[in-house]
Amino acid sequence: MNQGRGRENTFLSDDDFKYFLYCIEQASLRFNIEVHSYCLMTNHYHLLIKTPDANLGRAMKHINGLYTQYFNRTHNKDGALFRGRYKAVLVDADNYLLHVSRYIHRNPIETNTPLVDNLAKYTWSRYSAFIKNTATPKWLVRDFIFSLQGKKCKYAAYKQFVEYENNKEISAFYSAKKLLSVLGCADFIENIKDYIAKPDSERKFVSKNHSADEVIAYLAQYFNVEVDDIVMIKKGRKEKNLPRWFAIKLCQDLTGLNLQALAAVFNVGHYSAISKAVGRLNKLMLEDEKVKLQLEKLRDCLMSEVKI
């Protein structure tokens, strides 16, 4: 997130908003970032981004720099547009990502003077795409957010979730005078504390990644099944394929591969199948605590083998 220098407006016209979205699109293509939610306000913006290549700094420098050049050229300005370096918060996806997405999408009505009376009418967040009211930009990834709900009627469920109210813990977190750099449960913070707030933190996050082959081989050995039973789709198979679901989830968490790359690994035609598998697993974990504990055990075992 970032805001204008001296709280000045960073978007003065519809063309400004459109150009900033163009900058995001270019960054997604050039730096392989996944944009999961966004909201552009008059004098600030929020982006919910996953960086499989741990290159957030480069991507944000590109977005802010490209837009500042455009803004100064268009409006006959010079100098810095934003107040400084962007502010980044590392989010515990399993426990907080869905709430952060809601917080971002509710920005237009959480101001002292709401910008709209209906969130779906706000043009510069594309919340409307999450409830299937408008088209979705190719670079916007919705399926992972939907998978965290673990519900069939994903559009209606997300609409109901967002339009209810913000989580009090999330609101308190973002309204604090000094914004913390990590939002997560105690175990999450403990696991990543050695890799944050250091100059080479991005490099360390890259080097700790497993390969998909390593994760799949480990799962195959653990469940005593063939690798093909995990990576190939079994036609007509209706029962739960936990080894495959666990492998997809752990590859998503530990390899740094984006959804399209994971679709190729697990031999599905479209990346949405990856999100659907994760959604089924998330739903099962809500129903069965043992499955959740088993996933956590597998993740811990794989993480303990990481060489940095």
CATH number at residue 231: 1.10.1750.10
- Quote the mean pLDDT of the chain: 87
Same domain, 91 and 17: yes
200 belongs to a structural domain: no
Asked if 274 contacts 262 with a C-beta cutoff of 8 angstroms, the reply is: yes
- One domain, residues 213 and 188: no
208 or 73: which carries more pLDDT confidence?
A: 73
Residue 264 belongs to domain spanning = 208-304
Give domain status of residue 35, yes or no. yes
- The answer to whether residues 46 and 128 belong to one domain is yes
pLDDT digits (tens, 9 = 90+) for 29-62: 888 899 999 999 999 999 999 988 888 999 999 9
Same domain, 179 and 222: no
At residue 304 the predicted structure's pLDDT band, cuts being 50, 70 and 90, is low
Q: Does residue 234 share a domain with residue 130?
A: no
Could you tell me which residues are beta bridge partners of residue 182?
A: 90
Torsion of the alpha carbons at 163, 39, 274 and 139, rounded to the nearest 10:
140
Distance, in Å, from the CA atom of 127 to the CA atom of 13, rounded to the nearest integer, reads 20
Asked whether residue 188 falls in the same domain as residue 96, the answer is yes
Note whether 255 and 177 are same-domain residues.
no
- Choose one of 170, 195, 220: the last residue of a domain: 195
- So what's the pLDDT on residue 290? 87
Length of the chain: 308
Residue 34, H or E segment: strand 34-40
CB 69 within 8 A of CB 79: no
pTM across the whole model: 0.67
Residues 139 and 248 in one domain: no
Give the pLDDT confidence of 88-132 residue by residue, as tens digits: 999 998 889 999 999 999 999 998 899 999 999 999 999 999 999
Has residue 201 been placed in a domain? Answer: no
Is residue 250, in this structure, part of any structural domain at all? yes
Provide the CATH number for the domain around residue 108.
3.30.70.1290
Domains identified in the chain, total number: 2
Q: Do 145 and 213 have their domain in common?
A: no
What pLDDT, in 10s, does the model give residues 293-302? 898 889 888 8
Quick one: 81 and 118 in the same domain? yes
What's the average model confidence in pLDDT over 210-232? 92
Instruction: Transcribe 94-115 into DSSP letters.
Output: HHHHHHHHHHHHTGGGSSSS-S
